[in-house]
Structures are given as structure tokens and as C-alpha cells.
Structure 1
Amino acid sequence: MGVRSVLSKPLAKWVVERQQAWMYQPAETQQRWLRQLIAGGKDTAFGRDHRFKDVQTVADFRQAVPIRDYEALKPYVERILAGESDVLWKGKPLYFAKTSGTTSGTKYIPITHDSIPNHINSARDALLNYINETGNSAFLDKKLIFLSGSPELTQKAGINIGRLSGIANHHVPAYLRTNQLPSYETNIIDDWENKLERIIDETIDQPMSLISGIPPWVQMYFDRIQERTGKLIKDVFPDFSVFVYGGVNFEPYRAKLVESIGKRIDSIETYPASEGFIAFQDSQTEEGLLMLLDSGIFYEFIAAEDYFSENPRRLTIDEVELGKNYAVIINNNAGLWGYSLGDTVKFVSREPYRLLVTGRIKHFISAFGEHVIGEEVEKALQFAMQQQPETEVVEFTVAPMVSPREGLPYHEWFIEFATPPGNPEAFARDIDNRLTRLNVYYDDLIKGAILQPLKLTSLSRGAFQRYMKSQGKLGGQNKVPRLANDRVIADELLKLTSSPV
């Protein structure tokens, strides 16, 4: 065994033991962070505007700080970009993580000297938890690849600006840099397809042991390797043993990825966002991701069904219930206050608090009052795939058809199959029947003859890649929205060749 793999084990043991101090004291840990955040932000422009000097309790904080999205935060961000200090957090941010917004255009999310450990240490600790549980550390001695955005940074007002994955790339520990791929020169290539070919050139003959990235783009990497070699990934990379992913639910992609690899391997799910690293999979046997309650963030939660009400109730970690969908609100040492992350989660454990990411609070179909969410469509699709296990899905999205040329309205499912179901009509029926069991409102609309059962449109191979390329979002950390209340994505996909099932 190499030096890295040997030394990682005592470090992993220390990190996991340290976690115990906060894992089983969630409320106390979160209260401590609220006090620290208020103290750190009281002398900022935001803190003065919101009278942080008078905040003593959670109730005081909620009275002082409203829930906000990026649009409401934007005036403060623009002051920082104009050169002002002590606006949202003391001093100036180290970075702005650049991300695309649906209404705001480009969003600039601050990352500060105090908040960067949340991003970097959390990613490290996800691997160390895995090592501590499984004893597998040998992968650290071979080659590691992170399929990510460009690490190239620009500057404005003396602040570095780039994609979160690119920023994180600058903080990979020195002891891992010697076995990290791809090279910097390859990683800064903007065009994803050109970049992917260069990545394959650099990795195809290397002892790859850990591969990390968003599942659909990892699948594209695997597909191109197989086109070149005609081999399964396990035969190209016999040392490959750990797959790290985040950003989307793995289940719709699992069958195709496992088939491409040719063997089952361990996987580690993470929940990073530009606004903060929220959770990671700390166990290969327990359901859910460990919520990181001692990492510079004070969390609040709003029940998904109350989110759009005038005065939604804000909950602390000890007030949430298991099995219920919540919108995540964060307050952190990057200067995000009452910030709605846009994600929904569901807790599956309290001791410790573990969660599942269930979707986006604004990504749902409710054209007829059904409020179908991401978790429900993913579960329905997974059920149908279990009924016809030969089926392999590349990508999918769902949109309403409100005014069809004839008949009742319906949900239209756009699916690109790697291997189509043997019986497409039964496949569509299985999805629809499972969705009626998962969502009582959808069931009522079907039974009440307000909606007809869903229609499945099978897209030609590469349709989603062509769509993402047309939007300038091919590769990196970009994801296809699962759900929409309109047909903007649907209509674009239909232009890229499709055939109804």
C-alpha cells in the first residue's frame, strides 16, 4: 500500500470520531452556529440593515431576516462587485461562484475565507467516511478524475470568479494533485466534446481508481471510451472501484452505468451547491445523506406545501418531521441570509439527521393542480424499469400538454432510451399507475377524467446532448430539468427528432 492509503485511515478515524460531537447534538450545534453567524455579520451592511445587534433568539432572527431568493440578494452582490467591503460578510469574498439562474441570468454566489472549508473539507470528509467504513483506501494511490467545469478564473473588483467545480479544483490537497486528472490544460477547454476527447486521451492508459462527476456526463465519458476500445470500463480501468456523484438522482442512470462498467462498484453520493455543501453519503448501508450541521451554515426549513403561502412557517432542524418534503433555507458565513436554496429534501433519519434530495421547489408540474414533484416522477420511472429490467434510460424530462389537438390534456414524458422497453405501452402504463399511487391529486385528475394517462415520446439517441449543447450547457455541472410547467424544453426537444410511442 502507498503512503496516501496508509495515512488516510487514521485521518478517516479521527474525522468520523469528530463528527459524533455534532451528529447527536443537532439543535445545540445549530444554535451555536446561529450565534456565530450573527456575531460575524453584525458589522456588515446587511447586518446593520437588518438590526443584527438586536438579534438574540431564533424568533428575533426570523423577524429581522425575511426569506429571499437571489433577486432579493442581488443589490448587495452588486455593491460587492462595485468594490465595496463588509457588505454581506466581513471583508470581501475570496470568490464568486458563477451559476446560471432562470430569472436572474448569471448568478454570483459569494464564497469567503470562512466558508471555503465547508466546500473543501466536506468533499474530503465524504471520502474519509467511506474509507473508515469500508477499509478501502487503495484507490488513493492510483489516478483520480473529476469531470468538472473549467478551473480558469476571471476577476472583477479583485475577486476571482468561476464555476464552483473549477474553484474547488484550485483547493485539491497537494498530496492528491500528483494523481489527479485531467491536466489543467485540458480542464480549461470550454467546448465539452473537444474537452472530453482530450480527457480520454489523458486517462485511457492510466490506472483510474476513482471517477467523479454528474452521472449523464460520466456516462458520455464511458460511451466514448467504449467506442474507442470496444471494451467494458472494468477492462479499460481494472482499478476503478469508487464512483462519486451528485447533482441528480442516480437511480435512472444506474442500470446503464453499471452495464457500461461491467461490474458493480461502490458509490458515494454528495449534495454540493454553490451556496454550500449540504450533505454527503456517510454510510454504504444506511439510507440517505448525512446533513452537515457543523459546517458554517444555520439551516431553516419550510414545508413544501407552505412555501408559496404569504407567511410560511420556518422550522429549525429539531422541528422537522420524517418523510415530509421541505424547502431548504440557508444562512451562512459567506453572507447568504434567509436564502432559499431552491431544493426540496426529505428526512429519513433523526439520529443522525439524514436526508434525500427530492427535487426543486419550482420544478414541478401543476398545470391542473396536481403538483407532481421530481421524487415522484423518478420513483414512477424506476418502478417501470423494474418491471422491464432490460430498459436503460439515458435521460428524461416531463411537461404538460394543456391543449392537445384532440382528447383530454395529459403529461408528456420525453425519454431517450439506451435500450428501450420491450413493451413501450406497458412501460407507459406502469409509470402512470405508479404515479397515481404516489400522488393523490394526479390520481383524482385521472379518475375524474380531467387528465388522460400520460403519453411517452421516445427521443432519438443524443437528443438531450444536442439540446444541452444548443443551450450552451453541455457537460460540467449542468443538469436537465426533470419537470416544467410549460413546454419550452419540450418544444426544443421535439425539434431534435422524436417519435411518439
Structure 2
Amino acid sequence: MSIKAFAAKVFALYVHYKNSQWIKNPVEAQERLFKQLIKRGRSTAFGKDHGFDEINTHEDFVKKVPIRDYEAFRSYIDKMREGAEDVLWPGKPLYFAKTSGTTSGAKYIPITKESIKHQIEASRNAILSYIRETGNAGFVDGKMIFLQGSPELEEKNGIKFGRLSGISAHYVPNYLQRNRLPSWKTNCIEDWETKVEAIVEETINENMTVIAGIPSWVQMYFERLKAKTGKNIGDLFKNFELFIYGGVNYEPYRSKFEALIGRKVASIELFPASEGFFAYQDSQEDRGMLLLLNSGVFYEFIKADEFFDENPKRLTLKDVELGIDYAMIITTNAGLWAYNLGDTVRFVSLAPYKIIVSGRIKHFISAFGEHVIAKEVEEAMRLAIDKTGAQVNEFTVAPQTNPPEGELPYHEWLIEFEDAPKDLDHFSQLLDDAMQKQNSYYFDLLDGKILQRLKITKIKKGGFQDYMKSVGKLGGQNKVKRLANDRELAAALYAFKLRE
């Protein structure tokens, strides 16, 4: 065993002991953190606007601070981007993580000195948990690759801007620098196809032991390696032991990955976001992720089926139950206060507190990390109708993750036309162009040849109504899902497909 592997085992035990202190006292850890956050926030513009001097309990906080999404924070964030200090958190943020747009374009999520520390620690501790549980540490002597965005950052008003993965690239610890791939030069390549080819060349003859990234991007990397060498990834990288992923559900990819690798490898699921690092899988024995309760994030939970009520009850950790979907609301040491993350989680353990990500509070598609929302598909449809004169009765959108052999995955639009466009291909192109303009992640996936352009499936007239009737949801407040992250609705609608 190398000195580095031995040191990793010792460090893993230390971190496990340190974490066990808050794991054993979860509610107390959250209450203590809540008080610390409120104390730090009192001197900020947001704290003064919301009477933080009068907040001593969670009940006070609920009365003073309503739940907000990004758009409701925009006026504060705009001031911060202009260089103002003490707006949402004392001082200025170190970074703004740029993410895909919502109703008003791109989002800029603040990252502070305090919050980036916890982001990096969580990534490290996920690997250390694996080492402690399994006793495997030899992989630290091999090469590790983290498929991520460019680490090149822009700077304005003393704050750096970039994607979260690019920001994180600046915090790889010194003891891993020699193990890390790709090279800095390759990591800065913007064009994804060019970047993947460069990564293949840099890694093809290396002793790769850890590979991390969003599954759809890693799959492309694996496919390029296999095409170039004719070997399964497990044969090419004989010591490949650990796959680390997050961002999308791995299950649709699992069988494809195991075929590409040629054997099973251990995996660790992460739950990171620009807004914070919330959980990681700390055991190979179950798929639940340990909720991080001492990492600068105070959590509130609202039952998903009550979220859109006028005054939904905001629960703290001590009130949650197993098996219920909750919208997760966060208050962080980056200055997000009662922020609606948009994700729903389900607790699979209460001792310790472990979660799985169960979906989004609103319908969405993110099978490949694209984060498509209803507004985007509806706006694309509006533009296409305006430019062609077509009339649409109803439509829904679903991902096709398992296309015919030789084809790339795509988004399938199932559309019931009242008056179909004369040129369906042109209509499809208008939809796709509008989606690319609205959603940078979708554009990147097409540009990187992860997805192909969307495809349209025509549903016969009255097909959506017939479907709703068949499931007992015709009329009233029942609505067809505008989009979904699975194919349940799409598969059911094939019974009402237009035969031409």
C-alpha cells in the first residue's frame, strides 16, 4: 500500500468521526446552524428588509421571510453583480455560478468564501466515505478524470463568473493535482466534441481509476474510447474502480454503462448544485444519500402535494416522514434565504437522514442534464405556430433515452394538430431552434452530439381527450402534463398515434 493510500484511509476515519458528531445530533446541528445564519444575515440589506433583528426561532423566520424562487431574488442579485456589498451576505460573493435561464434569462447564483469551502469538502468527503466503508484506497494512486466545464472565468466588479464545475476545478487539492486529468489546456477547450477527442487522447494510455461526470457526457467519452480501441472500458482501464455522478438519474443509463464497461464498477451519487452541495451517497449498501446538515445549508420541507396551497406548512428536519415527496427549501451561507430549489426529495432513512431526489416540484425534462421547463417548450411552440400558421390542440414532450440502434437520443414532441403545418420538417426545425436559443444546456447537448434534434410524433385529432378519458381524467381541473422526465405518458399516447 502506498503512503498516499494509507494516508487516505487515516483521513477517511478522521472525517467519519468528525461527521458522526452532527449525524448523531441532526436536529441540534440544524438549529445551531440556523442561528448562525440569521446572526450573519442581520447586517445585510436583505436582513434589514426582513427584520432579522426580530428573528429568534423558525416560527419567526416563517413569518418574516417568504419562500422565493430565483426571480424574486433578482433585484438583490442585480445589485451584487454591480458590485454592491452586504446585500444577501456580508461582503461580496467570490463567484457567480451561471446556470440555465428561467423566465428572465440566465441565473447567477452567488458563491461565497464560506459556501465554496463546503462544496469542496462535500466532494472530498463522498470519496472518503467510500474508502472508509470499503477499505479500498489503491485508486488514489491512479489517474482521475472529472468531465466538467471550462475553468476559465470572467471577472466583473471584483467577482468572478463561470459554471460551477469550472469554478470547482480551481479547488482540486495539491495532493491530487498530479493524478488529475485532463490537462488544464484541454479542460479549457470550449467545443465539446473537440474537448472529448482531446480527453480521449490524453487518457487512452493512462491508468484511469476514477471517472466522474454527468452520465450522458461520460457515456459519450466511453463510446469514443471504445470506437478508437475496440475494447470495453473495463479492459482498457483495468483498474477503473469508481464512477462518480450527479445531475441526472443514472438508472436509464446503467445497463448501457455496464455494457460499455464490460463489468460492474462501484458508483457514488452526488447531489450538488450551484446553490449548495446537499447530499452524497455514503454507503454502497443503499442508494440513499446522506443529507449534509452541518455544511452551511438550513433546510425546510414542504409536502409536494401541498406546495401550491396558499399557506403550505414549512417543516424542519424534525418533522419529516419517510416515503413522502417534499419540496426542498434552502437557506444558505451564500445568502439564499428560504429559496425554492425546485427539487423534490424523499426520505429513505431518518437515522441517519438520507434522501433520494424524487423529481421537480414542476414538470420538467432533465434526462440528460438539460433542465427544460414548461415555459420553454410553450414559448417554442408559440413561435413555431406564429411563423407557420399551424394550429395545435394539445402537445406534450418526453425524452427518448433508448433510440433505435445507431441513433442519438432526442426529445420527442407528441402533437395533436388541428391544422398541421405544410412542412413538418420546417416546423420541427423552428421548435428546435427556439429551444436552443432559450436553453443553453440543450444547445450544448446538441452541439456536443449528445442529443439529436427533436422529433415530432403526430397524435390523431381527439387523441389527447381520448387518452384523458381512458385514465378517468377528462374535464375538471385535470390537465395533460406539458412535459415529463419519463416516457409513461408518451408511451400511453402511442395508442392514439396518427396513422398516415
TM-score range, shorter chain: 0.7 to 0.9
Aligned to 1:237: 237
Cα distance change of structure 1 residues 17 and 476 upon mapping to structure 2, 3 Å threshold: farther
Distance across 1 between alignment mates of 2:218 and 2:250: 11
The CA deviation at 1:325 is 0.3
Distance across 2 between alignment mates of 1:22 and 1:211: 30
The CA deviation at 1:310 is 1.6
- In 2, are the aligned partners of 1:126 and 1:268 still within 8 Å (CA)? yes
Q: Deviations along 1:144-202, whole A, 9 cap, x unmatched?
A: 00001111100111101110011111001010011100111111111111111111111
2:212 matched to 1:227?
no
Distance across 1 between alignment mates of 2:194 and 2:12: 37
The CA deviation at 1:8 is 0.5
> TM-score, normalised to structure 2's length?
0.77
Aligned length: 419
Q: Deviations along 1:219-255, whole A, 9 cap, x unmatched?
A: 0100011111111001111111000000111111000
Aligned to 1:302: 302
Aligned to 1:434: none
SS in 1 for 2:346: strand
Distance across 2 between alignment mates of 1:155 and 1:412: 38
Aligned to 1:128: 128
**Cα RMSD for the two superposed structures:** 3.5
Distance across 2 between alignment mates of 1:363 and 1:10: 44
Q: Which runs of 5 or more structure 2 residues have no equivalent in the other structure?
A: 382-389, 406-431, 455-479, 491-496
- In 1, are the aligned partners of 2:248 and 2:369 still within 8 Å (CA)? no
Q: Deviations along 1:379-430, whole A, 9 cap, x unmatched?
A: xxxxxxxxxxxxxx9999999999xx9xx9897755242667xxxxxxxxxx
Q: Deviations along 1:422-449, whole A, 9 cap, x unmatched?
A: xxxxxxxxxxxxxxxxxxxxxxxxxxxx
For residues 63-102 of structure 1, what are the structure 2 equivalents within 5 Å? 63-102=63-102
Distance across 2 between alignment mates of 1:125 and 1:315: 28
Cα distance change of structure 1 residues 86 and 120 upon mapping to structure 2, 3 Å threshold: same
The CA deviation at 1:473 is 2.1
Aligned to 1:11: 11
Aligned to 1:417: 402
SS in 1 for 2:326: strand
Distance across 2 between alignment mates of 1:28 and 1:414: 42
- In 1, are the aligned partners of 2:217 and 2:450 still within 8 Å (CA)? no
Cα distance change of structure 1 residues 270 and 315 upon mapping to structure 2, 3 Å threshold: same
Q: Which amino acid letter does the alignment assign opposite residue 162 of structure 1? A: G
Distance across 2 between alignment mates of 1:396 and 1:39: 34
Distance across 2 between alignment mates of 1:63 and 1:223: 53
For residues 280-291 of structure 1, what are the structure 2 equivalents within 5 Å? 280-291=280-291
- In 2, are the aligned partners of 1:300 and 1:314 still within 8 Å (CA)? yes
- In 2, are the aligned partners of 1:246 and 1:269 still within 8 Å (CA)? yes
Distance across 1 between alignment mates of 2:200 and 2:162: 24
- In 1, are the aligned partners of 2:215 and 2:250 still within 8 Å (CA)? yes
For residues 31-70 of structure 1, what are the structure 2 equivalents within 5 Å? 31-70=31-70
Q: Which amino acid letter does the alignment assign opposite residue 360 of structure 1? A: R
For residues 410-449 of structure 1, what are the structure 2 equivalents within 5 Å? 413-417=398-402
SS in 2 for 1:186: helix
Find the partner of 2:445 among 474, 479, 488: 474
- In 2, are the aligned partners of 1:101 and 1:107 still within 8 Å (CA)? yes
For residues 371-386 of structure 1, what are the structure 2 equivalents within 5 Å? none
Aligned to 1:446: none
Cα distance change of structure 1 residues 176 and 277 upon mapping to structure 2, 3 Å threshold: same
The CA deviation at 1:98 is 0.8
2:355 matched to 1:359?
no
Q: Which amino acid letter does the alignment assign opposite residue 40 of structure 1? A: R
Aligned to 1:150: 150
Aligned to 2:494: none
SS in 2 for 1:472: helix
% identical equivalent positions: 50
- In 2, are the aligned partners of 1:152 and 1:166 still within 8 Å (CA)? yes
The CA deviation at 1:486 is 3.3
The CA deviation at 1:101 is 2.2
Aligned to 1:486: 482
Distance across 2 between alignment mates of 1:335 and 1:83: 15
- In 2, are the aligned partners of 1:67 and 1:338 still within 8 Å (CA)? yes
For residues 185-224 of structure 1, what are the structure 2 equivalents within 5 Å? 185-224=185-224
Distance across 2 between alignment mates of 1:12 and 1:40: 31
> TM-score, normalised to structure 1's length?
0.77
Distance across 2 between alignment mates of 1:19 and 1:103: 39
